[in-house]
Every structure is written in structure tokens, then in C-alpha cells.
């Protein structure tokens, strides 16, 4: 990948960090930026030095959504040919935990990006919302599906139709975000959670995500069959032997990630 223009990346103690970096536009997501975010995620997903990926935003907000200027002259045909959501779809194929640490405005495509992450932590002042209806469009990067999966049809329709902004406490109450953390502690808190997950046996973390992702797509029995296969697979790892032996020896386990 060439040097990214709109994201900053770094690796700190097995945490791959991606920071949206277009603060003068509230981190509005243009196509290049989305491509850069997804490529950074995929690089970290493949990098053995990274166990968990954390996404946040530079400046006053996480993201005010897709770049409206870029979309203004789009047509159905230009959209079809461009296939802008092909990049977004790649996020669902990542294996490592993705954590969003959000603040300020988390709107439209910015909200969809956060919802595509596995865990979301937000400051008390964060405002979430899908204002697309007021622009004569609608969410296109999974917002109608992921919001409905999280909060149910009736509540999702109200937020999507009104375009109202949702406070962090409403989002927390609705189960959309994991936790509300004061702004000056958000980064430290998220890195602490990421660090705890990074210290877990890697294959367990990976196959738990894989099984949980099936819960929305498969019937209960098919989902449980899938879970069982993942459970059996973990008996092929050295971390399973170590985890169970350490318990029996009454000592702390030392996991190797395989």
C-alpha cells in the first residue's frame, strides 16, 4: 500500500491502530479513505505482530459519514459500475477483533463503520445518527441491517426515518455500544480492553468471533453445529493444553497463540 493520505496507522503492544485523519471534514469518508481504512485493517489482520485492531478518529469527531460532495453527481449506473460497497464488504471478512473508540459525531457512513466493528466504546458527548433520509437517500453500507439486528425493526425504523441523533446514553441503553467512557480516559480504556483480548489464546478469540458471526445468519441448530466444530478445532491448539494444564497445576498459563 502507498503511504495513506487519510489514515494514520501504528502498532503498539500487539494492537494495530487505525486513526481516521481528515479532521477538517469531520473525517468524512471519501472512497480513497475507505479503501485506506480497509487495506490497513486487512494488513493488520494478516500481521502476526497484531492481535487486535483499534479504530478511532482524529479531531473533533469520529466521522460525519460518507463524503457528500463526492456523491452529489452520482447516478445509479455510476454507482453500479463503481461498486463502492465492495470495499466495505471486506470488513466483514476480517478475523481479528475490531474495536471502535468513537467521539463527537458518528453519523451516516461513520455510524456504519462503527457498527461494522465488533465492540464500540464512546465518550458521553458522542452523537450517533443516520441523517441520510434528510439528504434524499438512505444508509447503504449496512446501516439498515446492522441497526435492525442490534435494536429491532420498530426502533430502527424510527431512528432511520426521523434521522434524529442518538445520544451515547441512548446508544448504550439500546445495546449498540459497549461502554461510555470519559473523553480523557477513552483511549486508555480501549487500549486496556484491547490488551486484555490480545493476551487471550488467539485461536479461541478468532473462533469465538467466527461462531458469534454465525448467530445472525444461521438457524439455532446450524449455529450450534458450527460452534461445536470450532470448539473441537480448539483441541488442536497448544493453548488448549496449556490453558487446561495450567488450571490443574494452579498456575498462570503461558499462551503461544497456536
Query: Nearer to ligand CO8 by C-beta: 69 or 158?
Result: 69
Query: Nearer to ligand CO8 by C-beta: 144 or 204?
Result: 144
Closest approach of ligand CO8 to the CB of residue 39, in Å: 16
Instruction: Write out the three cell numbers for 19.
Output: 486513526
Report how far Cα 92 is from the mean position of its chain's Cα atoms.
Answer: 9
Closest approach of ligand CO8 to the CB of residue 42, in Å: 18
Of residues 27 through 86, those in contact with ligand CO8 by CB under 6 A are 28, 64-69, 84
Residue in this structure with the C-alpha cell 449455529, named with its chain if needed: 223
Residue in this structure with the C-alpha cell 483499534, named with its chain if needed: 54
**How many chain residues are in contact with ligand CO8, going by CB under 6 A?**
20
Residue 165 found at the interface with ligand CO8 (CB under 6 A)? no
Residue 40 and residue 57: Cα distance in Å, rounded?
14
Query: Nearer to ligand CO8 by C-beta: 98 or 207?
Result: 98
20 touches 57 (CB < 8 A):
yes
Among 190, 173, 174, 192, which Cα is nearest to 182's?
190
Catalytic residue numbers read 66, 109, 112, 132
Query: Which residue in 21, 25, 42, 124 binds ligand CO8 (CB under 6 A)?
Result: 25
84 touches 112 (CB < 8 A):
no
Residue 140 found at the interface with ligand CO8 (CB under 6 A)? yes
47 touches 10 (CB < 8 A):
no
Residue ranges that bind ligand CO8, judged by CB under 6 A: 25-26, 28, 64-69, 84, 105, 107-109, 131-132, 135, 139-141
Amino acid at each position: 500500500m502507498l503511504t495513506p493520505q487519510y489514515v494514520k496507522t501504528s502498532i503498539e503492544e500487539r494492537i494495530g491502530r487505525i486513526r481516521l485523519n481528515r479532521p477538517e471534514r469531520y473525517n468524512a469518508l471519501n472512497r480513497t479513505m475507505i479503501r485506506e481504512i480497509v487495506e490497513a485493517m486487512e494488513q493488520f489482520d494478516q500481521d502476526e505482530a497484531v492481535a487486535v485492531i483499534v479504530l478511532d478518529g482524529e479531531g473533533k469527531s469520529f466521522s460525519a459519514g460518507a463524503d457528500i460532495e463526492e456523491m452529489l453527481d452520482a447516478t445509479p449506473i455510476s454507482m453500479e459500475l463503481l461498486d463502492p460497497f465492495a470495499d466495505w464488504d471486506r470488513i466483514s471478512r476480517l478475523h481479528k477483533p475490531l474495536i471502535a473508540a468513537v467521539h463527537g459525531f458518528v453519523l451516516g457512513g461513520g455510524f456504519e463503520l462503527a457498527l461494522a466493528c465488533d465492540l464500540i466504546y464512546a465518550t458521553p458527548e458522542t452523537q450517533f445518527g443516520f441523517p441520510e433520509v434528510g439528504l434524499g437517500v438512505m444508509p447503504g453500507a449496512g446501516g439498515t441491517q446492522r441497526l435492525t439486528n442490534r435494536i429491532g425493526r420498530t426502533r430502527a425504523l424510527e431512528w432511520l426515518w426521523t434521522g434524529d441523533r442518538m445520544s451515547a446514553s441512548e446508544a448504550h441503553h439500546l445495546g449498540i455500544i459497549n461502554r461510555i467512557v470519559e473523553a480523557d480516559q477513552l483511549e486508555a480504556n480501549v487500549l486496556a480492553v484491547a490488551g486484555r483480548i490480545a493476551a487471550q489464546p488467539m485461536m479461541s478469540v478468532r473462533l469465538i468471533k467466527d461462531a458469534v458471526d454465525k448467530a445472525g445468519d444461521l438457524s439455532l441448530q446450524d449455529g450450534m453445529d458450527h460452534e461445536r466444530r470450532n470448539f473441537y478445532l480448539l483441541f488442536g491448539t497448544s493453548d488448549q493444553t496449556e490453558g487446561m494444564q495450567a488450571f490443574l497445576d494452579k498456575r498462570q498459563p503461558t499462551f503461544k497463540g497456536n
